[in-house]
Amino acid sequence: MSMRGARWLVPTCVGLWLGACGSDDPPPPAGASNGGSNSAGASSRGGEEQSSGTKGTAEPGVGGTPGQGGAAIEPLPIGQLGGASLGEPIAGAPAVEPALCDPDATWGSPAALSGVSTDDADERLLAMTYDETTLVFTRDAALLLAERTAPGATFATPQPLTLPAGYTAARGLALGADGLSLVIVSEDGSSFAELSRVARGNPFDDEPHSERFAAINDAVTFSGAELTSPVLSEDGKSFFYAERSDERSDVWRATGAQLEERTRLDPVTLGADDGQAKLPLSISPDERTLFVLDEALGHVVGLWSATPAAELTQAVQLSGLESAFMNEGCSRLYGSRVLATSLDVVIETPR
């Protein structure tokens, strides 16, 4: 896989959660007095030795817990990527509860996911439920749905997944946490819609429903941008997605009963004006970690918030991964990477 070099712009402001730094206001100019610089500050944690791994049938790490690993990491200066002491109390204030997913964990030993990955085809993971039992992926050009009864159990034979006319998986998909809903994107990027089913193991209905996304779909009509990369939170109350045009791309979070409350996330870290977007892939259960595909880098970057109220700016590179999804306890990482000679759906555990 070819990867293009790039750098992340690191904001130094810490605002209210998805608030001040994630507003529609343009970012401050370089060198402004608030300290917002264009110096690179993304960490390379989590990407070491991830290119190693073998195809196999075993699924590692089921029942495991997160852990630390790898070389010691030099703390970053205060004001960069969350500061030097993530979660440490300041001036006697109570300690901040750490994020569910550990930004210092070192992931490795990727193994092909049995029942999903094959030796002679390319598989790319597009969506996964937090309980690890329902996956949507592509095998070469085919769109497939794989299901099992529990983590570590054997997957049933993957079944073809057919989307309604006018919709495509090329712009991303999102599964509801219960596996009963599937968010889809129109081929022209003009709208989101949702498919549903009555139970796991059943096919999804072929009638798309867009009522829940009316506010988003209406807004993009006026902006002239295109929609892509839907992501649903575990509780279903937050919806992340990207808007992109020839000139600009941004990541948004929508909340509310009809997803009518929209907030643009930090435009420096998650925005781009060079045609190389940051495309949302998944969000951790506590919404403190967002995984995006950085088109400029050609691999996944994890973005952490230093506190529940802070922006998602603490960057961790996950080199080699083209998609990334955490399970409920952030103890297992699923994604897509090249093993041997083909792209596979893999599972990784912290070392």
Residue 4 lies in a domain: no
Residue 12 lies in a domain: no
What tens digit of pLDDT does each residue of 18-47 get?
343 444 554 444 444 443 333 333 444 444
Helix (H, G, I), strand (E, B) or coil at 237: coil
What tens digit of pLDDT does each residue of 155-185 get?
999 999 999 999 999 999 999 999 999 999 9
What tens digit of pLDDT does each residue of 275-316 get?
999 999 999 999 999 999 999 999 999 999 999 999 999 999
Residue 11 lies in a domain: no
Task: Decide if pLDDT at 7 tops 60.
Answer: no
In this prediction, residue 145 carries a pLDDT of 98
Count of domains in the chain? Answer: 1
More confident residue, 167 or 70: 167
CA distance 323 to 283: 12
The verdict on pTM exceeding 0.85 is no
Q: What is the CATH number of the domain that holds 155?
A: 2.115.10
In this prediction, residue 332 carries a pLDDT of 96
Task: Decide if pLDDT at 216 tops 50.
Answer: yes
Handedness of CA 341, 343, 348, 351 (dihedral sign): positive
In this prediction, residue 88 carries a pLDDT of 52
In this prediction, residue 247 carries a pLDDT of 87
- Centroid of chain to Cα 188: 22
Can you say whether residue 201 is alpha, beta or left, with left for phi > 0 and alpha for psi between -120 and 50 degrees?
A: left
Residue 218 lies in a domain: yes
CA distance 95 to 287: 19
CA distance 144 to 162: 8
CA distance 279 to 135: 19
Residue 229 lies in a domain: yes
Task: Decide if pLDDT at 321 tops 60.
Answer: yes
Residue 5 lies in a domain: no
CA distance 200 to 181: 10
Task: Decide if pLDDT at 219 tops 80.
Answer: yes
Q: Domain range spanning residue 94?
A: 20-350
| Number of Cα atoms under 13 Å in the Cβ half of residue 119 | 4
Largest CA distance in the chain: 58
CA distance 22 to 350: 31
- Kindly give the residue spans of alpha helices, DSSP state H, lying in the chain: 214-223
More confident residue, 70 or 256: 256
More confident residue, 53 or 254: 254
Task: Decide if pLDDT at 78 tops 70.
Answer: no
Residue 227 lies in a domain: yes
In this prediction, residue 49 carries a pLDDT of 40
Helix (H, G, I), strand (E, B) or coil at 58: coil
In this prediction, residue 89 carries a pLDDT of 53
What tens digit of pLDDT does each residue of 88-118 get?
555 566 778 999 999 999 998 999 999 999 9
Q: What is the mean pLDDT of the chain?
A: 82
Task: Decide if pLDDT at 336 tops 50.
Answer: yes
CA distance 53 to 73: 24
Residue 7 lies in a domain: no
What tens digit of pLDDT does each residue of 195-215 get?
999 999 999 999 999 999 999
Instruction: Give Cα separations from 278 to 79, 92, 109, 281, 332 (angstroms).
Output: 22, 37, 26, 9, 23
Instruction: Read off φ and ψ for residue 164, nearest 5 degrees.
Output: -60, 155
In this prediction, residue 55 carries a pLDDT of 57
